[in-house]
Amino acid sequence: MSDLLDTPVPPPLPPSPAAPDWQPLPLRSASLAAFGGAIAGALLIGGAFGALWVVFDLPGRWWGAAGVVLLGALIGAALAFRRQRRTYWRLDAQGLGLRRDLLWQNETRVPTSRVQHLDLRRGPIERSAGLSTLVVHTAGSRFSAVTLSGLDSADAERLRDTLAHQLDQDDDAL
């Protein structure tokens, strides 16, 4: 058991120029997010406005509706790509920090003492891209889990192992 705790932790990724101590998510996670955003944008934005285009018989009825669906897909892809590229994480002695921003900035701090357990999730698309989702279950009832999707699989495993090791070493952990 002590051999597992003594294994060396890989060095951290190089810091982001925008935030020196925060680590960005890999570019391939933003590409996957853009694909999902394109589908959501085409269905939600494009579907709604495309249907209105057809119902109100606007010029170029079907071509206009198809153009609106394409525009919705482009908007959804751009927003999802940008949000994923503007997501950063940081692990230090106090715990895990997440910083997300698109229009509004959101910074979440998970102290090690509040961590209950950790999960790694890998769907089939994430596995094919070498990505993982880290789920940090915390003590409390409101927002009791913090999810960080789009992590490189090696980083996700390292984060999980390091947080678990810090949790084992912390006397205040629940």
Would you place residue 28 in the very low, low, confident or very high pLDDT band (cuts 50, 70, 90)? very high
Could you tell me the two tokens for 55?
């119902």
Q: Looking at the DSSP assignment, which residues form a beta bridge with residue 106?
A: 100
Query: Which amino acid is located at 81 in the chain?
Result: F
Please tell me the predicted confidence (pLDDT) of residue 3. Answer: 47
pLDDT digits (tens, 9 = 90+) for 124-143: 999 999 999 999 998 877 76
CB 9 within 8 A of CB 32: no
Question: pTM of this prediction?
Answer: 0.78
Average pLDDT over residues 74-89: 96
Average pLDDT over residues 37-60: 92
Mean pLDDT for all residues in the chain: 86
Determine the 3-state secondary structure of 1 from DSSP. coil
